[in-house]
Structure 1
Amino acid sequence: MDEQMRGLLDAMDRLQGLLDAVVAITRENELPSVLYRIVTTAMDLVGARYGALGVLAPSGDELEQFITAGLTEEERAALAGTDFPHGRGVLGQLIHHPEPLRVDDIAAHPASVGFPPNHPYMGTLLGVAISVRGEIYGDLYLSERQDGDPFDADDESVVIALAGAAGIAIENVRLFERAREGAEQFQRLLLPTLPDLRPFTAAAVYRPAAEPSQLGGDWYDAIPLPGNVVAVVIGDVVGHDLPAAAAMASTRNMLRALLFDRSSAPGTILSQLDHTLQAITENPITTTTLARIEPDEGGWRLSWSTAGHVPHLLLAPGRPAEYLFADPGLPLGVDPGLPRPDHSCFVPPGATVVFFTDGLVEHPDHPIDQSLAELTELATEYASLPLDDFVQALADHHPSDGHDDMAVLALRTPPA
C-alpha cells in the first residue's frame, strides 16, 4: 500500500511538474526564449544533466540550429571552435525515424559515430521529435540523468507530453512574431523618408517598443520650404493600437498641409491643427513639437511651439549641450481654445538640434531629470558622428527601459 501511495504521489508530482513546465513555456513571447525554455523544462522534468533542441533545416534531413543547456563554462570553453551537431550518428536516427528514442549506451548504438574531441561524457539519451502543425520542427534530446540511471518509460511519456505542448507554444510565438513584424512594417510605412533638406542635413530613426505591442503612435516629419527654411515636427499619439497609428497618420498629413502657410508662427499652426482635429476627428490626445528653422544673421533662427512634448536638445560647437526648455503648452485634443506660446533661439553654424519622443528617455525607476542628463551625455559623446550614425547611437544606448516606442530626428545646420 505504501508503494502504491508513493507511486501515486510521484505521478501527481510529475503531472504537476508537467503543468508548470507548459505554463512556463507559454509565458515566453520570443522564439529563442521559447526554444531554450523547452530544453530546460524538459531537463527539470526528468532530472537530466544535459539537454538540447535541434531545429531542422528546410530540407528536413539535417539540423540548422542547436540550442543546448547544462554545459558548464569549462565544458563550453573546451568545445570552442567545434561546429554544432548537424544530425549525424545517433542524433540523426531521430531525424530520419521520428519515433521516441531511448538509448542506454550511446557508444554501443549501431548509428553512433562518436563525439568530437573534448566533448563531455554522455552515455544515455532520450530523444523526442517536436511537431508544429503536423510537420517535424525539431528534436528534443536529453542525456545523463542526475541519479545515474538510464531514462525509463515514465521519462519518455512525460517528455512526449511536453513536446506536444512545445509544438503549440512554438506555433503560437511564430504567429505572434509574424503579426508583430507586420505591424512594425506597417508603422514604418506610415513614416516618411526624409527629403533633401539642403543646406541642412537630417537623419531620423524609429524603434518599436521592446515589449510586444501592436502599433505605436510616434512619428516625425521634415518639410523643406522656400527660402532655405525647413519645418520639423515630432509627435506621439497616445495608445499602441491601430486607431493610434491611424490618428498619427491623419495628424501628420493635416499638419503637412498647414505647414505650407509660411506666414503663420508654429504656435498658430498648432492651434489650427488642434481646432481641425477636434472638428473632424476623434483622435486621442497627442503631444508634438513643431519647429521652423530659417536663415538669421550669422547663423539660423529656430522657432518652435510645443504641445505637451519633451524639450529638444541643442548641440552647438564650443558650448555644453542644452535642452531648449520652454512653456510646453497643452497636448493636442485637450483644449484647443487656449493660446499656444511660441519660442525662438539662435542656432549657430555646425549645430545639431535633436528632437525625440518620450520613449527615448522614460524609465519607471528613474526620474525624468536623470534620463535627460544621461541623454545629454550620450549626445555629447556621439556628436562628432555622421548624423545617421548619431541617431542610431542614441536609439541603441537610450536611457529608457524600452517599454515604449521611440523616434529621434536630428537636424544639423551647415558649417560656417
Structure 2
Amino acid sequence: MHRHHSAPENTQELLATLGRLIDQALESIRVQQARADLGMALQRHMLPAELPDFPGIRIAARYSPSQDGLAVGGDFYDAFPMRDGVAGIAIGDVQGHGVEAAAFMGEARASLRALASVTVDPGEVLACANDLLISLGCDLFTTCCLLSVVPESGEFSVARAGHIPIIWGTDGGDSGISPDAGGVPLGILPDQQYPVTRRRLARPGYLVLVTDGVVEGPAYPIDEGLAAVSALVGAADAAEPGELAARVIEVADLTGHTDDAAVLVVRYEGVPGAGSP
C-alpha cells in the first residue's frame, strides 16, 4: 500500500515563490518587448522613406538595426533642400538605446531640417541645433555630420559634432578619409562652435558618411574599419550609390558590434575645372 506524502510546507512556499518570480520575469519580458517594438516603430517612422536627388547628385542609404532586438538605437540619416537650392545631407548617432533614443533622434533630425531653412552654413546649423536640444532638458546626446552642397558649382561645406569623418573616393580609384576638424556632440555643452571645412567636388565620385556601428567594434578597431570602407569606395568603379551603400554596410558584419549601423552615399558627377576633395 502506497501512502501519499505532501510536500513539506517550506517546499510548497518555495514553489509558490518560484511561480511568482516566473510570472514577474515573463511580464518584464513582455514589457521590454513592447518597448522594443515601440522604439523600432518610432525609428522606422522617423527615418526618411526615400531621399531626394539634386542636380548632379544622387544619394542612397542603408541601415542595419541592432543585433540585440531590445537595444533599439538612434542612428539617423537625412537629405533635404536648404536655402537657395543648396543640398543638406546629414547623418548622426544618438547615445543610448530604446524608445528615448528613438524619440531624441527624431528631435535632432527635425531640428536640423528646421534650421536648414534659415542658414546654409553647417557650423551654424549644428551650433543652433546643439542649444535647441539642450533646451529640451534630455539627458541624451548625439553625434552628427552635416554637409551642405551647392550642386551647380560642386562646392561643399562640412561640420562635425563628434562624428566619424567622411570617406571620399573618385572613379579613378583614389580614396581617403577627410580629416576635417570637429566639435563636441550635440546636447552636451551650450554655446559651442563647430568649425566648417569648405571643399569642392572634382572628378565623379563619392562622399560616404557612416555611423560607428559600421567601422568600429570589439573585433575591429576604427582605423581598420575606416580603411576597409575607404578601399571599397576607391574600388567602386562608378557603381550606383545604392550598390556601394550595400557593400559598405557589410563592413559592419566584421566589427562584432551589436549597435545599429547606417551608411549614406553621395554620388556626384563632377564639375570641370574643380579641385580634388
Q: TM-score, normalised by structure 1?
A: 0.53
Contact 1:211 1:402 survives alignment (8 Å): no
Shift of 1:213: 2.7
Partner of 1:266: 122
1:242-253 matches, within 5 Å, as 242-253=99-110
Contact 2:213 2:260 survives alignment (8 Å): yes
2:158 equivalent to 1:301: no
2:198 equivalent to 1:198: no
1:256-405 matches, within 5 Å, as 256-262=113-119, 264-295=120-151, 299-398=153-252, 399-405=254-260
Distance 1:212 1:395 in 2: 18
Partner of 2:40: 184
User: What whole-Å deviation, never above 9, does each CA across 1:317-353 have from its counterpart, x for those lacking one?
Assistant: 3252111112221111222223211111111242211
Contact 1:194 1:202 survives alignment (8 Å): no
2:93 equivalent to 1:236: yes
Distance 2:150 2:265 in 1: 16
Q: 2:264 aligns with which of 393, 409, 413?
A: 409
Distance 2:229 2:219 in 1: 16
Rg bigger for which structure?
Answer: 1
Shift of 1:302: 1.5
Contact 1:208 1:404 survives alignment (8 Å): yes
Distance 1:206 1:278, change over 3 A: same
Shift of 1:379: 2.6
Distance 1:295 1:265, change over 3 A: same
Q: Structure 2: which amino acid aligns with 1:389? A: E
Distance 1:247 1:391, change over 3 A: same
Shift of 1:185: 4.0
Distance 2:130 2:85 in 1: 27
Which stretches in structure 2 are left out of the alignment for 5+ residues?
1-27, 272-277
Contact 2:167 2:175 survives alignment (8 Å): yes
Q: Structure 2: which amino acid aligns with 1:320? A: D
User: What whole-Å deviation, never above 9, does each CA across 1:145-190 have from its counterpart, x for those lacking one?
Assistant: xxxxxxxxxxxxxxxxxxxxxxxxxxx9999888756643432221
User: What whole-Å deviation, never above 9, does each CA across 1:91-135 have from its counterpart, x for those lacking one?
Assistant: xxxxxxxxxxxxxxxxxxxxxxxxxxxxxxxxxxxxxxxxxxxxx
1:90-239 matches, within 5 Å, as 183-199=39-55, 200-225=57-82, 227-239=84-96
Residue 255 of structure 2 aligns to a residue in which SS? coil
Shift of 1:211: 2.8
Distance 1:332 1:315, change over 3 A: same
Residue 192 of structure 1 aligns to a residue in which SS? coil
Q: How many residues are matched?
A: 242
Distance 1:372 1:213, change over 3 A: same
Residue 220 of structure 1 aligns to a residue in which SS? strand
Distance 1:355 1:378 in 2: 13
Distance 1:218 1:341 in 2: 23
Residue 235 of structure 1 aligns to a residue in which SS? strand
Q: Structure 2: which amino acid aligns with 1:186? A: L
Using the aligned pairs only, state the percent identity. Answer: 30
Q: Which has the higher contact order (CA 8 A, sep 6+)?
A: 2
Distance 1:253 1:336 in 2: 19
Contact 1:197 1:224 survives alignment (8 Å): no
Distance 1:370 1:244 in 2: 28
Shift of 1:316: 1.8
Contact 1:247 1:283 survives alignment (8 Å): no
Distance 2:40 2:104 in 1: 16
Contact 2:33 2:70 survives alignment (8 Å): no
Shift of 1:415: 5.1
Contact 1:359 1:407 survives alignment (8 Å): yes
Distance 1:361 1:397, change over 3 A: closer
